[in-house]
């Protein structure tokens, strides 16, 4: 059925079968749809797809609530006459054809067929495979406004080239747009936290590798003599790394003497660190390298003599310079 009117010389036509409203032979929707397209694309560009979908859903729902509340007060709409009101009102406004095909008045469950709505036309004209959000959520808002309690929806089928209309179910629900907004905020916050954690982990690994490279370098000072400065405190991982790294370099430098410089250690050397020094020294001895402890402060000397007596078997000297002279002397050399 088609209704045709001429108002002020302008021809308007309503096609009830397709839900189209024609203005001077063209689809009336396209006279304002371009502005909505720009609005949607701008939100999507700034906020991303997920946030855009939530904006469309929330806006559509809240606009629907206003419409529903207004018509409830004006026309005393209820479950029995809502069918005709929705179909006639929205088709006349250029929102396409909407039809309530199932209705359960006892539970207020409704199933709508929505055809050729402006959101579908917008996405189709832009060649975007985007499913409708604004229009389905709008009708949920309409039902909420009409009946005075929250409705929500579930889309079972979207209009496409294969499907002539969308099939959307509406029902009373505890779900609200506020909950959806909060849920998105929590997801975005969780994602940001996850990204920060990944960034921290990445930078931590970089720093750990840098510390490994710088904290205990292998320094060949003279032929057959290498120095390993020990700095800070050593946990299990760092101690194991120092032992392996040092033992790998001893044959490479044909080291006869390994000077462990304890200057950079904390005054309160731990039992774990003392055991690590003893383990490294014993392993180096098996490779033909003698270990000399240098940089022994008075505090460390007292600690070694009273607590870590296993280190007393190693030659201990006050400074690195003394250690180099000692190693040279044992190998029959001297600095001239």
For residue 265, what pLDDT is reported?
A: 77
Architecture of domain 2-175: 2-Layer Sandwich (3.30)
Query: How many other β-carbons are positioned within 10 Å of the β-carbon of residue 234?
Result: 23
Q: Classify residue 103 by burial, with Cβ atoms within 10 Å: 0-12, 13-18, 19+.
A: middle
Question: From 3.30.750.200, 3.40.640.10, 3.40.50.11930, 3.30.750.24, which CATH number describes the 216-330 domain?
Answer: 3.30.750.24
* Among 92, 69, 127, 89, residue whose Cα is nearest residue 20: 92
Tokens standing for residue 1: 């059925």
For residue 3, what pLDDT is reported?
A: 65
Structural domain boundaries in the chain: 2-175, 216-330
The most distant pair of C-alpha atoms in the chain lies apart, rounded to whole Å, by 118
Q: What is the pLDDT along the chain (336 residues), one digit of tens a residue?
A: 556 656 555 565 656 565 566 555 555 555 556 666 777 777 777 777 777 788 888 888 888 888 888 877 766 666 666 767 777 777 766 678 888 888 888 888 999 999 888 888 878 776 666 788 889 989 988 888 888 888 989 999 999 888 999 999 999 988 777 776 666 566 556 666 677 677 777 777 776 676 666 566 788 888 899 999 888 777 787 888 888 889 998 998 899 999 999 888 766 677 888 888 899 999 999 999 999 999 888 888 888 888 888 888 888 898 889 989 998 988 887 766
Report the alpha-carbon distance of residue 55 to residue 131 in Å, rounded: 14
For residue 290, what pLDDT is reported?
A: 93
For residue 5, what pLDDT is reported?
A: 58
Tokens standing for residue 13: 């036509």
Tokens standing for residue 27: 């689809």
pTM confidence score: 0.50
Tell me the residue length of the chain: 336
* Among 64, 229, 214, 37, residue whose Cα is nearest residue 138: 64
User: Hunting for tokens 């207020």 — which residue is that?
Assistant: 108
Report the alpha-carbon distance of residue 133 to residue 23 in Å, rounded: 26
**Could you tell me if 242 and 273 are in contact, meaning their C-beta atoms sit under 8 angstroms apart?**
no
Per-residue burial over 127-136, b if 16 or more Cβ lie within 10 Å, else e, is eeebebbbbb
* Among 119, 112, 113, residue whose Cα is nearest residue 94: 119
């Amino acid at each position: 059925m088609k209704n045709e009117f001429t108002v002020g010389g302008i021809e308007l036509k309503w096609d009830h079968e397709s839900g189209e409203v024609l203005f001077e032979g063209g689809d009336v929707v396209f006279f304002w749809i371009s502005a909505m397209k720009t609005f949607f694309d701008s939100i999507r560009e700034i906020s991303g797809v997920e946030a855009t979908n939530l904006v469309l859903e929330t806006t559509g729902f809240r606009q629907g609530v206003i419409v529903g509340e207004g018509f409830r007060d004006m026309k005393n709409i209820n479950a029995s006459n809502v069918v005709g009101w929705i179909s006639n009102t929205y088709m006349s406004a250029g929102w396409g054809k909407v039809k309530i095909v199932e209705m359960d008045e006892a539970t207020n469950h409704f199933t709508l067929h929505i055809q050729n709505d402006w959101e579908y036309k917008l996405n189709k004209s832009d060649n975007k495979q985007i499913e409708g959000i604004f229009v389905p959520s709008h009708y949920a808002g309409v039902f909420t406004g009409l009946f005075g309690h929250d409705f929500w929806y579930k889309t079972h089928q979207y209009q496409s080239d294969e499907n002539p209309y969308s099939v959307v179910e509406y029902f009373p629900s505890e779900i609200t747009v506020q909950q959806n907004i909060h849920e998105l905020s929590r997801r975005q916050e969780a994602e940001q936290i996850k990204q920060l954690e990944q960034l921290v982990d990445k930078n931590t690994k970089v720093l750990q590798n840098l510390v490994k490279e710088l904290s205990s370098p292998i320094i060949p000072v003279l032929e057959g003599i290498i120095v390993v400065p020990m700095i800070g405190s050593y946990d299990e991982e760092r101690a194991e790394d120092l032992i392996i790294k040092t033992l790998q370099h001893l044959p490479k430098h044909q080291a006869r003497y390994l000077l462990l410089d304890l200057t950079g250690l904390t005054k309160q050397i731990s039992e774990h660190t003392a055991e690590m020094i003893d383990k490294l020294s014993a392993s180096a001895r098996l490779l033909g390298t003698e270990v000399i402890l240098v940089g022994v402060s008075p505090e460390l000397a007292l600690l070694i003599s009273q607590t870590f007596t296993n280190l007393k078997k190693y030659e201990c000297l006050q400074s690195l310079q003394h250690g180099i002279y000692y190693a040279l002397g044992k190998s029959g050399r001297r600095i001239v």
